[in-house]
Amino acid sequence: MKANEVNLTKFLAQADTQFLIPVYQRNYDWNIGECKQLFEDILSVGVDEKRLSHFIGSIVYIHDDIYSSAGINELSIIDGQQRLTTITLLYIAIFVYAQQTGNTTLVNKIMETYLINKFADEGAKLKLKPTDNNDKALKFLLRNDPSDSFTEYSRLIENYNFFISSLTTQNFDVIQKGLSKVIFVEISLERTKDDPQKIFESLNSTGLELNQADLIRNYILMGLKHKDQTNIYENYWRHIETHATNKDTNTNRVSEFIRDFLTLEKREIPNKNKVYVEFKNKFAFESIEELEGVLSKVKRYSTYYHRLINPSAEPDVEIRKQLSFINKLEINVSFPFLLEVYSDYASEMIDKKVFIEVLELIQSFTWRRFIVSLPTNALNKIFMRLYEDVDKTKYLYSLQLALLKKKSIQRFPRNQEIVTILKDRDMYGIQSKNRSYFLDRLENLDNREPVYIEGNSDITIEHIFPQNPDPRWKLELNEDEFVLLKEKYLNTIANLTLSGNNGKLSNKYFSDKRDMNIDNKEQGYRYSRLWLNRHLATLSAWNVTELLKRYDLISSRFLNIWKFPDIVIDEAFANEEINVFEAEDPSHKKLDYVIFFDQKFEFNTVSQLYEHVMRVLFDLTPTIFFTQDLEEKIGLTKSPIECVKAISLNETYYIEGNLSSKMKFERIKLILSSMDITDELFIKYAEGA
């Protein structure tokens, strides 16, 4: 690696040299504000006779001392493309301004010194060779043809327009003088001697601010020759980036996709900020063939991911409908699992019917858990390893069985729990996406003419007993019923419906809402074709008794939509993965495995578990162990001879290991509770234990 302080104009003036922006680089994204600051800085140094230079940072490139077939020396820019591109745009603006003012000598000098390689072939003509989309804009600017137009949006065009509009007779010479004083640090790397990736990582850690997907793309492409870079990018990475883009919001989700892919590969969920590191550790490429093998798999899974985040891309109408529901619920934690199921469907391991039933199962499981307010963080661990429970010969059954065996905070809520909790649950105050999903599915069960709720301004949510009831409600209801409807049941599902006339129905008494027919426009419940209003049309009054009857209808419909698996399971089955706080007495039992901080360990004894967990927790938060109460209970000591069987936590501290299995569990739970991480340790007892 060589680093030198270099004058920018001399750097750009190198003969037969092309500054190549590799395909793995981010798009050019400087805005007008940044261009304005650079322009003002260059003007400032141009005016000030005492200032001999203006520093703009570093430009890092790979120099292989290899010339292209056209005799052009290619320098691959790995850092500095934003500054280099912006300076080129400023030189184009100076070139055009010189044309407009008839300065032919300057026109030729700028063009042949800073913008083109005069005698090169067409492909190597431009001094700066940006990526494809920017290349078109740059060539358009250089043509400077008034009869030509550029219809696509381009930051290059926007920033050039700023520069050309900023040049005046007064500042034209000053800006050129300022440019001649611009310097930077030139860092030249040789592929055979230096490690561009490691140097790039170092640059990124000091503020380049690339996301995880950018770093992975660079890791894949940076070490390749230009031809291989282009082939890999075009055949694989471009497709991955396209597939992992949300079409509705135009949001790039490559980092999230790679995280999900790594989860299904490793059965561990990478930290969001360590996806790149985990990818690099998992996939070390020795050859192009190895790289293509991995990227083929990533590309294949990206097509399934595309349909998960863009349900409209799924060609099958029924599957698309289920994906749309999952998308509304934002069950993103299930994606690693669903990617594998999608792969099984695509390879015809399972048919469409089973695939849809799995999608329904996932909705039932997660929505029931939402209704009873079970913690969502438990879902990460469930879906991380759920595919391991798949029996290919009994696909759906094996998944149903696996979910039904979950206990405690991981459980699949039973029908009675749902019916009991839903009756009093506030379903109006939940997030709007969840509310619209709930009402959509309730209303449109088996409906051949579905009513679209989300985004439909003609349909609103209506409180049957109003939030601000007309005085007649108090006259018609006894005091206890009025209070119950207002204080307990107001926002429950039994008191909610859908209406296209919410403003008109408003706070009116029930019979007025039911029969409303202003100007023969049939606004009342009696005229509604919605299922949620069908029962209301038959009632003479609205009170607690009728509300509970309506709840019975809705809860029955709920259980029909979000089904509980109809399979027989031995409820006494104890040897399943369970939170350590819910586990039975471990005395005289052996372990099959444990899940600790999302990692699986095949420990057979409680002693193995105890030693590992206590060491990890001590290393994680040692101060917890030194609180007076815990230090005494744990028996923390610096002297191993004070212990019957000393377990070292590190080189200095020890704890007693001569304890019963039950006591070891109690001490583990004590520390987990003190650290407020009670959901990080799950165990599975061995069969027959």
Over residues 430-451, the mean pLDDT reads: 89
Tell me how many degrees the CA angle 567-570-573 measures, rounded to the nearest 5. Answer: 135
pLDDT band at 200 (very low <50, low <70, confident <90, very high): low
199 & 226 share domain:
no
201 & 223 share domain:
no
583 & 524 share domain:
no
Can you list the positions of beta strands (E) in 558-623?
A: 578-579, 591-596, 599-601
118 & 90 share domain:
yes
**pLDDT of 514 above 80:** yes
Specify the pLDDT at position 503. Answer: 59
**pLDDT of 448 above 90:** no
Least confident of 50-59, 196-205, 546-555, 592-601: 196-205
Q: Which of 184, 167, 172, 15 is nearest to 84 (CA)?
A: 184
Interacting residues of 296 by C-beta distance below 8 A, sequence separation 6+ = 236
Which spans in 314-414 are helix H?
317-329, 335-346, 352-371, 378-385, 395-404
Instruction: Report the range out of 495-504, 507-516, 542-551 with the highest average pLDDT.
Output: 542-551
Are the C-beta atoms of residues 59 and 185 closer than 8 Å to each other?
A: yes
284 & 182 share domain:
no
Specify the pLDDT at position 633. Answer: 82
Interacting residues of 155 by C-beta distance below 8 A, sequence separation 6+ = 27, 28, 29, 30, 31
Q: Note every long-range contact of 625-632, with CB atoms under 8 Å and residues 24 or more positions apart, other chains counting.
A: 625/649, 625/653, 625/671, 627/674, 630/670, 630/671, 630/674
Q: Is residue 566 part of a domain?
A: no
CA distances from 32 to 50, 160, 161, 196, 455 (A): 29, 9, 9, 31, 36
Say how many domains are in the chain: 4
CA dihedral 551, 554, 557, 563 (to 10 degrees): -70
Are the C-beta atoms of residues 433 and 327 closer than 8 Å to each other?
A: no
**pLDDT of 490 above 80:** yes
Residue that finishes a domain, picked among 209, 235, 257: 209
414 & 424 share domain:
no
The whole-angstrom separation of Cα 320 and Cα 328 is 12
The whole-angstrom separation of Cα 533 and Cα 368 is 24
Q: Is residue 320 part of a domain?
A: yes
The whole-angstrom separation of Cα 217 and Cα 239 is 12
**pLDDT of 65 above 70:** no
641 & 505 share domain:
no
Q: Is residue 400 part of a domain?
A: yes
Element (H, E) at 497: strand 496-499
676 & 543 share domain:
no
473 & 539 share domain:
yes
Specify the pLDDT at position 679. Answer: 80
DSSP letters for 212-278: HHHHHHHHHHTTS-HHHHHHHIIIIIHHHHHHTEETTTTEE-HHHHHHHHHHHHHSS---GGGHHHH
Over residues 96-116, the mean pLDDT reads: 92
256 & 360 share domain:
yes
> 587-624, pLDDT tens digit by residue?
988 999 998 887 889 999 999 999 999 999 999 888 88
CB atoms within 10 A of CB 317: 7
Q: Which domain holds residue 628?
A: 578-685
Helix, strand or coil, per DSSP, at residue 19: strand
Q: Is residue 433 part of a domain?
A: yes
Q: Is residue 97 part of a domain?
A: yes
The whole-angstrom separation of Cα 389 and Cα 576 is 12
pLDDT band at 410 (very low <50, low <70, confident <90, very high): confident
Instruction: Look at the block and give the residue holding tokens 């001649």.
Output: 180
pLDDT band at 505 (very low <50, low <70, confident <90, very high): low
pLDDT band at 208 (very low <50, low <70, confident <90, very high): very low
Specify the pLDDT at position 77. Answer: 87
Residue that finishes a domain, picked among 367, 396, 418: 418
The whole-angstrom separation of Cα 368 and Cα 455 is 25
Helix, strand or coil, per DSSP, at residue 547: helix
164 & 279 share domain:
no
Residue that finishes a domain, picked among 185, 209, 233: 209
Instruction: Look at the block and give the residue holding tokens 């040299």.
Output: 17
Q: Which of 396, 374, 399, 375 is nearest to 385 (CA)?
A: 399
Can you list the positions of beta strands (E) in 26-88?
A: 54-62, 73-79
**pLDDT of 276 above 80:** yes
Over residues 517-534, the mean pLDDT reads: 85
What pTM did the predictor assign? Answer: 0.71
Q: Is residue 278 part of a domain?
A: yes
Q: Is residue 132 part of a domain?
A: yes
Mean pLDDT rounded to a whole number for the chain: 88
Q: Which of 97, 83, 89, 106 is nearest to 167 (CA)?
A: 97
Q: Is residue 13 part of a domain?
A: yes
281 & 366 share domain:
yes
Instruction: Look at the block and give the residue holding tokens 């044309």.
Output: 99
pLDDT band at 53 (very low <50, low <70, confident <90, very high): confident
**What residues does 591 pair with on adjacent strands?**
685
Least confident of 336-350, 451-465, 615-629: 451-465
Least confident of 57-71, 137-151, 302-316, 387-401: 57-71
The whole-angstrom separation of Cα 466 and Cα 458 is 19
